[in-house]
Amino acid sequence: MPSPSLDFWFDLASNYSYLSVMRIEALAARAGVAVRWRPFLLGPILDALGWEGPPFVVQKEKGAYVWQDMPRQCRKYALPWQQPTEFPRRTVLATRIAVLADDEPWLPDWCRTVMTRNYGDDREVDSPEAVAHMLTALGLPAQRLIEEAGSDANRARLRERTQTARGLGIFGAPTFFVGEAMFWGNDRLEDAIEAALCPPQNQDIV
């Protein structure tokens, strides 16, 4: 019997991904579920679906609700929160770093650092200066990683990751997969972990 695991697809610019990025590692470890972190860019998928931008921006009523909901959710999970003065913030370089770090032990720390700076501190996260500062704070070789993240090979890797997300039918972030079963939204994180612990024959395919 293989060890229980799930795939965690998220966008570093996504506010609801912030909630899951900050919670998933502790919850999954407590349950004995391995997590495969899969950062991607949601923007190109929304473009392919015909959206003119993130739903929370395009539909002002939904956006107004989100900025009421996020403080409640952050209080619920004891997470820092400052409504960003820019939304969505550009996170392309930060995401290239995350893709470069695929399966590296520091990937979760990197993602939490980016998310906290954006949604906890309302600070820019994607300039080379900001990225270098965050990498250095984690004890990582900032200049080398920034250069590698911007290489043609790594840019292609991020494009392929995003195409893979599109091929899986992902339409929002965060999204979790347990085998072929999809769970969408931060409020489905616990459900995905529970499903990973169930025998495959008892999992519903969505």
Catalytic residues: 14
The pair of structure tokens assigned to 169 is 């039918």
Cis peptide before 141 (omega within 30 of 0): no
- The answer to whether the beta carbons of residues 71 and 81 sit under 8 Å apart is yes
**Mutual orientation of helices 107-115 and 15-31 as an angle, nearest 10°?**
140
In sequence order, the β-bridge partners of residue 5 are 34
- The answer to whether the beta carbons of residues 186 and 21 sit under 8 Å apart is no
DSSP secondary structure string for all residues of 125-160: --SHHHHHHHHHHTT--HHHHHHHHTSHHHHHHHHH
CA 84 to centroid of chain Cα atoms:
17
> Residue 9 is inside which H or E element, if any?
strand 5-10
